[in-house]
Amino acid sequence: QLQLVESGGGLVQPGGSLRLSCAVSGFSIDYYAIGWFRQAPGKEREGVSCISSSGSSTNYADSVEGRFTISRDIAKNTVYLQMNSLKPEDTAVYYCAARPLRFRLCVPLDFGSWGQGTQVTVSS
C-alpha cells in the first residue's frame, strides 16, 4: 500500500539547480524515515540524504553537504531534495525510499520501500 513516486529529474547544466519530489501515498511520512539515494551506471547505490520521521534529524553525504537540502511538506505528504551547484558527478538515477519510524544509517539496506527513480543528468 505504501507507494513512493519521484519526480523533478531532468537535464541541467553544471552549477544549476533541480528540485526533486517524493510523493508518498498509503501512509503518512510522520511514520517513516525517508531517504534519497542515487545510482550511476556501474556504481553502487549510495545514500544522498535522509530525514527522520519527525523531521528533526537529517543526514547528508559528504559529497553533497552544503549543496543539497532535504525537506518535508506534511500537508502534501511529500519529501523534497533541493539540489544546488550541481556537478557532472551528480549524474545518476535518484530514488526515494522509506523506512518505518527511524533510520540509523542512510544506506540502501536500511530502506525497504522504493520508488521507481528519476534521472538527473548534469552536463553542458
Per-residue model confidence as pLDDT tens digits over 60-104? 999 999 999 999 999 999 999 999 999 999 999 999 999 998 788
Q: Is the model's pLDDT at 1 over the cut of 90?
A: no
Q: Which whole-number Å values give the CA distances from 18 to 11, 12, 13, 42, 68, in the listed order? A: 9, 8, 10, 24, 10
Mean pLDDT value across the chain: 96
| Structure confidence at residue 104 (pLDDT) | 81
